[in-house]
Amino acid sequence: MTSNTKIGGRSGQFPITRWSAILAARSKDSSERSRGLEAIAAAYWKPIYKYFRLRWGKSNEDAKDLTQEFFTRVIEKEFLNSFDPAKARLRTFLRVCADRFLANDFKASKRLKRGGGVQHVSFDFGAAEAELSRTKTSLSGAATPHAMDDFLEKEFIRSLFGLAVENLREFCAGRGKEVHFQLFEAYDLAAEESDHAGYAELARNFGIATTDVTNYLSFARREFRRIALEKLQEMTASDAEFRSEARALLGVEPK
């Protein structure tokens, strides 16, 4: 054996900003609470909207109202105070809340308030509707709780990764690394595996060496992973839950 080394990377083991939106959403500080709730709404509004559409067969317009009303209730009624991360994942908790909301609160009140307490979150329902038309998943009325959890998990990952990709775009643009992101977009974000060009073709298209393609992609993936882990960290309440989610969703163990 020639060496036994601890290889020094640029930043060590996944430096994660320790901030939990769930803990913040239960904070007594109103600005902190609002910030936490908005982060949760930003990550979960699309999965919940699609859930209303597919699981409950709601129309486009009804699902829009329901989604906004639901997140308003989450804020007003402080739903998250009863969330216990030891008993369930946040997405499962939100699904149960959404089911109850539809079965009880919403039926009784019919008070719809678009925007509610999450004015700073952009609910782009047109985009969500377009995504639904491309989603292969379907949830029938007879779907089991397990299937519903799987659906929400998949949509949560889609939403989380979508946010991470947007952050990565901004991150790369801020550092003059647009080509890194464009390569990442062309190779890793292609809709179908067969859609993307090979490294050699990408190198020709971008006018760079093939080894640069490898290095640029490596950089973009590393930053994507870091950002995705930060987003995931926001959506978990404890270190144990964060680690478990990182393993399950990203196959990585943060430190």
Partner 1 sequence: MNWLSDDAITRLQAASALPDLAGTRYRIIQRIGSGGMGTVYLAEDATLGRRVALKILDFPDASGELAARLLREAHILARLEHPGIVPVHDAGTLPDGRVFYAMKFVEGQRLDRLIVSMGAVSDRLRVFQRICDAVAFAHARGILHRDLKPDNIMIGPFGEVLVMDWGIAKILHQPPESAAESSRVARDAMARSAVKTGHGTILGTPGYMAPEQARGDVERLDERADIYSLGAILQFLLIGSAPAARAVVAIARMAMAENPAGRYASASRLSEDIALFLDGLPVSAYPENIFQKAARWGSRYQLAIVLVLTYLVLRAVLLIWFRR
Contact set with partner 1 (CB under 8 A): 1-14, 124, 127, 130-131, 134, 136, 154, 157-158, 161-163, 165-166, 185, 188-193, 214, 218-219, 221-222, 224-225, 228, 243, 247, 249-253, 255
Q: Between residues 46 and 55, which has the closer beta carbon with respect to partner 1?
A: 46
Q: Find how far residue 29's CA is from the centre of its chain.
A: 25
Nearer to partner 1, 173 or 189 (CB): 189
CB closer to partner 1 out of 131 and 149: 131
Closest approach, Cβ 87 to partner 1, in A, equals 23
Identify the CA nearest to 214 among candidates 225, 200, 224.
200
Closer residue to partner 1 in complex, CB, 65/185: 185
Smallest distance, partner 1 to C-beta of residue 110, A: 31
- Side chain identity, residue 219: F
- Provide the sign of the torsion angle of the four alpha carbons 100, 106, 109, 111, taken in this order: positive
Name the minimum Å distance from CB 195 to partner 1.
8
Integer Cα distance of 84 and 237 in angstroms: 9
Is 37:105 a contact under the CB 8 Å cutoff? Answer: no
Tell the smallest beta-carbon distance from residue 162 to partner 1 (Å).
5
What is the spatial distance between Cα 203 and Cα 218, in angstroms, rounded to a whole number? 14
By C-beta, is 97 or 250 nearer to partner 1? 250
Between 92 and 167, CB nearer to partner 1: 167
Q: Report in angstroms how near the CB of residue 40 gets to partner 1 at its nearest.
A: 17
Q: Output the smallest distance, CB 199 to partner 1, in A.
A: 12
Residue 246 per-residue DSSP state: I
Q: How many whole angstroms separate alpha carbon 230 and alpha carbon 226?
A: 6
21 half-sphere exposure, CB direction, 13 A CA radius = 20
Q: Which are the contacts of 143, defined by CB distance < 8 A and separation ≥ 6?
A: 55, 151
